[in-house]
Amino acid sequence: MSDDLVKTFHLEMLDRHALVPKEIPTDFTTALVDPADPTSNQQLYRDVGSAWQWTDRLTWDNARWSNYAFRDNLNTWIGYWKGERAGYFELESQQDGNVEIMYFGLLPEFIGMGLGGILLTVAIQSAWLKPDTRRVWVHTCSNDHKHALENYLKRGFQLFKTEVA
């Protein structure tokens, strides 16, 4: 396989009891962005994704960000470490009880502190709290942090598809 090829891993959790949570210390908190704030989504996407080649939304204008962030089926959460914004995740409610973790990640200065598993625990718990959730799913790729796939698997996700492009 060429080094230029990207592997995309699709993972799912079909039972809330499959979650293997990481302990959430008192110094870590999360808050739902309410009301929705497209500027926050855009800034977090850029700040978190810059190290991982997140490029598909860099050309979006303000109207497109607004259309995205103000959808009824999308929630954005920000994670805070000792009161400082450390990362975020977006949850999208989909048909048939599916909830996708659309975007998830830490700001560069918080990587390597063990916060990824904590933030992912909260993301999964929040997804299962949505009414009628039957499945939580996410995808990651070989361009993401080297421990991203491992973090998802440690929290209880199961790999259901791998693509190479």
Query: What tokens appear for 16 in the block?
Result: 């809330």
| 103 occurs within a structural domain | yes
| 10 occurs within a structural domain | no
Query: What tokens appear for 18 in the block?
Result: 């499959």
CB atoms under 10 Å from CB of 56, counted, come to 9
Q: What is the pLDDT of residue 144?
A: 81
| 102 occurs within a structural domain | yes
Any idea what the CATH number is for the domain that residue 85 is in? 3.40.630.30
Whole-angstrom distance, CA of residue 116 vs CA of residue 31: 16
The burial of 17, by beta-carbon neighbours within 10 Å (0-12 exposed, 13-18 middle, 19 or more buried), is given as exposed
| 34 occurs within a structural domain | yes
What's the domain range around 128?
23-136
Residue 1 has pLDDT above 50, yes or no: no
Q: What is the pLDDT of residue 3?
A: 63
Identify the H or E element spanning 91: strand 84-93
| 16 occurs within a structural domain | no
| 100 occurs within a structural domain | yes
| 17 occurs within a structural domain | no
Angle between helices 62-69 and 38-49 (to 10 degrees): 100
pLDDT confidence band for 165 (50 / 70 / 90)? confident
Percent pLDDT > 90 in the chain is 86
Q: Looking at residues 138-144, what average pLDDT do you find?
A: 89
Whole-prediction pTM:
0.94
Query: What tokens appear for 39 in the block?
Result: 């500027």
How many structural domains compose the chain?
Answer: 1
| 159 occurs within a structural domain | no
